[in-house]
Amino acid sequence: MMSEDAPPSKHAKETKVSMPPPNNEIAELEPVQEDQNDDTINGNTRTKICTNPEMAQIAAKVESFKNWTVNRFKTTKQSVFEQLGKVEKTVDSDMDQRINNLKDLHNRYKDVLNAAKTYSDHIQALNNSQRILSESLYQLSLKENDLKQTLTDRSEVLRSFSHNGDALIKSIGHFVSSLETLSNKTIKDTMWTIQVYEQARLEFDVYRHELSTLKQNVDADQTKIPDVESRCNEHKKKYEQLKEDVRVKIALLDENRLKVMRTQLKQLEDGLSHWFGENIKTLEQSSPREAPNHDDLTFSRGEMEPSSFLEQ
């Protein structure tokens, strides 16, 4: 029989350790249930961790911005070196000539458009002045009995001029609208394609010079050559495709431009002819009886009219 002071046996010790803890200890070890709407735990702010798709999206944006920055730096450097004459650029004389002609043509069309708008504004101002003057002459005829008929006739002439001017303004407005579509949409669309083409040419030259530098420099990392060569071929293909797109667009633009301008110039000519013709017809119909020529008149001394007050 074991005494009370004797140490416990090894078997008794293992039995004691394997016993489950009391219920109150289990309650203390249970994790605290967090409120899903609570953003703090024990006074500390909870840190929310992004899920994998969100991290991938952020990483893609960072990588895209990085590539854009590097590409922008390279193309800017290439453009500056080309202007300084330090590097050679890819040249297509025929295409460059077509592009320069189109740019000059675009500027001239914009000048015609601005002039047509100014002309339309002047005709509109002339019409308004004619209406005001016509109304003023009519109001004067109501009080000036001796000049009533003459004032009324002149008032009607100006009113007719103003009416004819409205038709001309409509014709010019149609001409301006067609020019705006041609200059600000059709030609501008081709100019945008040209800008993309010029940017593609710049990018192609960047990788072409980079590949040439790698091949000529024996101390450079030759393992980069396949990757740079692949990028160079890719940008060359893009450059050639855009060059063909520009060639097709310029050809279609030339055909469409000539067709539109022939039609609009004919309508503008008809509007001007109608305006001048109607004005001349109005003058002929309203002109007073032709005054006698004083050089053909002979007066006897006794029939000579007395001079007026102003002639004395």
Amino acid at 89: K
Amino acid at 4: E
Average pLDDT over every residue of 280-308: 58
Percentage, residues of the chain above pLDDT 90: 46
What pLDDT shows up at residue 51?
57
**E strands present in the chain:** 40-41, 44-45
- Quick one: tokens of 146? 């001796």
Q: pLDDT at residue 150 above 50?
A: yes
CATH code, 93-286: 1.20.1270.60
pLDDT in tens, 202-221: 988 888 888 888 888 777 67
pTM of the model: 0.66
Q: pLDDT at residue 232 above 80?
A: yes
- Quick one: tokens of 48? 């929310």
Average pLDDT over every residue of 279-294: 69
Determine the angle formed by the axes of helices 225-286 and 187-216, rounding to 10 degrees.
160
pLDDT in tens, 76-92: 887 787 778 788 888 88
What pLDDT shows up at residue 225?
84
Q: In 3D, which of 64, 56, 251, 275 has the Cα closest to residue 168?
A: 275
Report CA-CA distances (Å) from 130 to 117, 122, 216: 20, 12, 79
Average pLDDT over every residue of 110-135: 95
Q: pLDDT at residue 11 above 70?
A: no
- Quick one: tokens of 177? 């609208």
Find the DSSP H helices in 182-218.
Answer: 187-216
Query: The tokens 């840190």 sit on which residue?
Result: 47
Average pLDDT over every residue of 19-44: 46
Q: pLDDT at residue 171 above 70?
A: yes
What pLDDT shows up at residue 69?
82
**Higher pLDDT, residue 22 or 144:** 144
